[in-house]
Amino acid sequence: MTQLDQLKQYTTIVADTGDFQAMKAFAPQDATTNPSLILKAVQKDEYKPLLEKVVREHGKLGTDGIIDQLLVAFGLEILKLIPGRVSTETDARLSFDTEGTIAKGRALIKLYEAAGIGRERILIKIASTWEGIRAAEVLEKEGIRCNLTLLFSLPQAIACAEARVQLISPFVGRIYDWFKKSSGQEYTGADDPGVQSVRSIYTYYRKFGYATEVMGASFRNTSQIVELAGCDLLTISPDLLQKLAESDAPVERKLSKEAAQSADLKQISLDEKSFRLALNDDAMASEKLAEGIRQFCADAVKLDKIVDGLR
């Protein structure tokens, strides 16, 4: 069996790409997108017809409305290829706007439902700021399932679980990047700080019975992926999916509910003040959250310009 086949025995595999043509070979259960992935996809020749069609049919809506239609158009194409869910991200420029995020989540779900897609197949991706988590809490109560992204710390994960969000996406690779740059050291296997972060979150959730799903994300190499075998879900880029499919090295389960329940942990409760203080005290998490929001905002602006250029 390939590493990919072995991994599927323990973990739900998710394709992390806006290039829906690239995911056909790997048969993932779910798929995720983000502003950077969509921006990358629409600049490829094979996706220009889809972009042009959306702009042509919805040009009267204004840029924001066209972008919403474009995100959903990609989501609809992806849903034709997978049996599970697709994650569609809200505008990163709403990361500190609770009401704006709620409105955007409702608007995206409305578009999917108009296309005949049920809510159970959509996850609305929202940045794991305090404001984003509060928006997700409201949306979840309305039956709109959410994926809290740009998550780098246990306090963010705890706040998401207490808000009863459907799923979180802790970022392994970006945590690794920060520590590698900060220390000048290379990290591998179980010593990888990104791997350790996801393990701690998974263990905390299963220890205290939270239903929120944990989906490791943002991988830099297959070692990070294999070290998280047993995590609820792992969202993986096509190039790393290909490497897993080409290897037959053994994959062992590393995370389990049974092992987590024996961990010696204390439960933590966070209000807004303690959440903000804990996040501020974690230099890596606060810096990578801010950096991630800036990057997604910049890519959203670039996508706006591409759309405006076709109107």
User: pLDDT, tens digit, for every residue of 215-253?
Assistant: 999 999 999 999 999 999 999 999 999 999 999 999 999
Helix (H) or strand (E) holding 215: strand 213-216
Tokens of 111: 């578009």
How many domains does the chain contain in total?
1
**Cβ neighbours of residue 45 closer than 8 Å, sequence gap 6 or more:** none
Q: How far apart are CA 132 and CA 149, in angstroms?
A: 10
Question: What are residue 235's DSSP bridge partners?
Answer: 14
Ramachandran region of residue 7, left (φ > 0), alpha (ψ -120 to 50) or beta? alpha
pLDDT value of position 23: 87
For residue 191, give the CATH number of its domain: 3.20.20.70
pLDDT value of position 22: 81
- CA dihedral for 243, 249, 184, 155, sign (positive or negative): positive
Catalytic residues, by residue number, are: 125
pLDDT value of position 156: 98
Contact 33, 14 (CB under 8 A): no
Q: How far apart are CA 289 and CA 297, in angstroms?
A: 12
pLDDT value of position 21: 82
Tokens of 214: 């944990």
Residue 49 has a CB neighbour count (10 Å cut-off) of 9
141-to-107, 204, 280 alpha-carbon distances in Å: 16, 23, 29
User: pLDDT, tens digit, for every residue of 112-128?
Assistant: 999 999 999 999 999 99
Low-confidence residues of the chain: pLDDT under 50: none
What is the domain extent for residue 145?
A: 3-310
**Cβ neighbours of residue 300 closer than 8 Å, sequence gap 6 or more:** 35, 67, 91, 92, 93
Phi, psi of 123 (to 5 degrees): -120, 125
pLDDT value of position 35: 84
